[in-house]
Structure 1
Amino acid sequence: MSLWVHPQQLTPLSTTFFGARDPDNWVSLLPRGHEWVNHDTMLWSGTAWYDAGTGMKMEEGEWTHLAFAVDQGSVTVYVDGEAKYNGSGFPNVFTTASGTFSLGVNWWDPAFVGKMDELLIFTEALSADRVSELAAAAPNS
């Protein structure tokens, strides 16, 4: 998954990209995470509670490219084309043919406030080179 985000406001737990099989199996890409990862930009999954914190904070009013790739439990989270998190054991959220996807909202938390552009969802894990290419192209908005 890859997209450009331009937050006007950074609120803990507000998502840009949310995908779920059901209330217990979901993935959420947060520009400002939650207090347990120092509010860093992060990829989050529940209820296995996988926190993939990037160790950095996005800025309000600036475009940032976010991407993540999951391949058989291995996960990489990218910010502006650079891998900021690598880990293993990421849950397999989508094990059925059905699911829900949304932008800027999930089922529980405050909505994202800002702009998003150039959302791309892939059926295979993105390579680091492909993420770099996507991050090098400026957003359209």
Structure 2
Amino acid sequence: MQLAELAAQTGEIVGTSDWVVIDQPRIDAFADCTGDHQFIHVDPERAAAVTGTGGTIAHGFLSLSLLGGMSIDMLAAVEMTVGMNYGFDKVRFLAPVPCGARVRGVFRLAEAVEKRAGQWLLRFDASLEIEGAAKPAFVAEWLVLCTV
């Protein structure tokens, strides 16, 4: 699919990722990478007393960082040389992701602008659904710069 064809889908959900399990080893690895060892993420017993989830919760930035990998299948069908994370215009964390939860990314194409010949800026309204939860973990306006 050409980027111009994807642009014609503005306003539509253009991808939903597979479910990903957020387990304690993943949370601990993220804590080690970032140096954020706050107890609500790494100490199940202490966290159970304050999180309301019965245990630890994922870092908000861990949840957000999953978008890149979750978008690969969605963008794999688009003919381009490279797609790069261009940043976020807005992110709101709405619900904690409990350890053991399954999450998936949902991507609605909000805007597609050809910045110059062969270069497109895509704006996605992205969210991270938590299986069985009423609210998503977050909603975000995510920008991806694509080059043909």
Alignment TM class, shorter chain as reference? 0.3 to 0.5
Query: Structure 1 or 2: larger strand share?
Result: 1
Q: Indicate the structure whose relative CO is greater, using CA pairs within 8 Å and at least 6 residues apart.
A: 1
TM-score, with length taken from structure 1: 0.35
Query: Structure 1 or 2: larger helix share?
Result: 2
Which structure has the larger Rg over C-alpha atoms? 2
TM-score, with length taken from structure 2: 0.34
